[in-house]
Amino acid sequence: AVSGPRDLRCYRVESKGHYQCSWEYEGTLAGVSHFLRGCQECCHFAAGSATLVQFTDQDINVLSNVTLWVESRLENRTEKS
């Protein structure tokens, strides 16, 4: 079976004035840590065991294209979305 983060979705929550990214995770949940990362080290958000991150336009440059992905770490393994 394939494990790791998948189905990353990011969007702006107009009513709250922030952005939100969420994803699904397949695999062992105990001890896993998730990180939302952006291209060229532009952003890095630690999510812990959660599969949702919220941020504002102060946290990331939203005026240019940004590639985001999730890294899930468990012991000595890192899996990417």
What per-residue confidence (pLDDT) applies to 41?
Answer: 63
36 contacts: CB under 8 Å, gap ≥ 6: 21, 43, 44, 45, 47, 53, 68, 69, 70
Beta strands of the chain (E only): which ranges?
A: 4-13, 18-26, 33-38, 44-48, 52-55, 68-74, 77-80
Can you give the pLDDT at residue 39? Answer: 79
pLDDT score recorded for residue 1:
54
Q: Which of 38, 33, 28, 36 lies closest to 64 in space, CA to CA?
A: 38
This prediction's pTM: 0.83
pLDDT score for 56:
86
CATH number of the domain bearing residue 11: 2.60.40.10
The pLDDT assigned to 2 comes to 64
Could you list the residue range(s) of the whole structural domain that residue 27 is in? 4-80
Please count the structural domains in the chain.
1
Segment-wise mean pLDDT, segments of 10 residues, the chain, 81 residues? 86 89 90 88 87 87 80 90 88
